[in-house]
Structure 1
């Protein structure tokens, strides 16, 4: 039997920006929050996007959830210009398998004030999932 009273209720998930200050720390926080009962850990932007579809962590595929990002202003600073510049420079230094030309273009845009920071990218990834409502605190 379908319980209609819970159909619009979203599962609340909290990301605490006070728990991390780097992209690696974000991956650890998100793994602890969303993947706590699994052996799989988030370690890339693509991996983060993948787990947001659901089905192999805290929520089911397409299940409506709400993500509350606490201390989001701290995260915006921590994952801002400097961290993003270092992220891109590390990929350029590493070279293959990364598309160095594309990454250099993204770095140039960032330094010109037109590119996205890591924080912006993470928010965009979350917002690209229609079943997820993002709120920042």
Structure 2
């Protein structure tokens, strides 16, 4: 799908998932179509946004539309983020428990990022991607 500027348009839909695992499944299906690899971590999500495998090439300009983003903002908000950090702390190695505890403390105090905000930051760090929240 091309927009008027000839950029490739890719859509993810927040109504297709309600947690981080579902988000990974959604972006794997949309961005990694016909590739035998699935996103399963935040780092993995960042990696596929460089392109070169999946549905767009390295540095190809794309427009990423996130439909139902308000639902995703709620689904991947404070509660989901707190659970995410608590699971990593409970698991321990290979995770840096001290760092994760700091992130959890920041979140609880109202100063930390939610998973939704982290995902937005990851997307926006890729200058070839224009993010549109709908």
TM class by smaller structure: over 0.9
Q: Which residue number corresponds to residue 78 of structure 2?
A: 81
Three-state SS of the structure 2 residue aligned to 1:38 is: coil
Give the CA deviation at 1:25: 0.1
Encode CA deviations 1:77-127: one digit per residue, 9 max, x unaligned: 000000000000000000000000000000000000000000000000000
The match for 2:56 is 59
Distance 2:61 2:81 in 1: 30
Residue of structure 2 equivalent to 1:129: 126
Structure 2 unaligned segments of length 5 or more: list them.
none
Shift of 1:42: 0.2
Question: 88, 91, 97: which is aligned to 1:91?
Answer: 88
Q: d(CA) in 1 for partners of 2:123 and 2:106?
A: 22
**Structure 1 segments of 4+ aligned residues over 2 angstroms from their partners:** none
**CA distance in 2: counterparts of 1:55 and 1:110, whole angstroms:** 34
Deviation at 1:40, TM superposition (A): 0.3
Aligned position for 1:41: 38
- Aligned to 1:133, what secondary structure does the other structure show? strand
- Of the three residues 84, 101, 106, the one matched with 1:104 is 101
Query: Could you say which structure has the larger radius of gyration?
Result: 1
* Root-mean-square deviation (Å): 1.0
Count of aligned residue pairs for this structure pair: 131
1:72 matched to 2:59: no
TM-score (norm. length: structure 2): 0.96
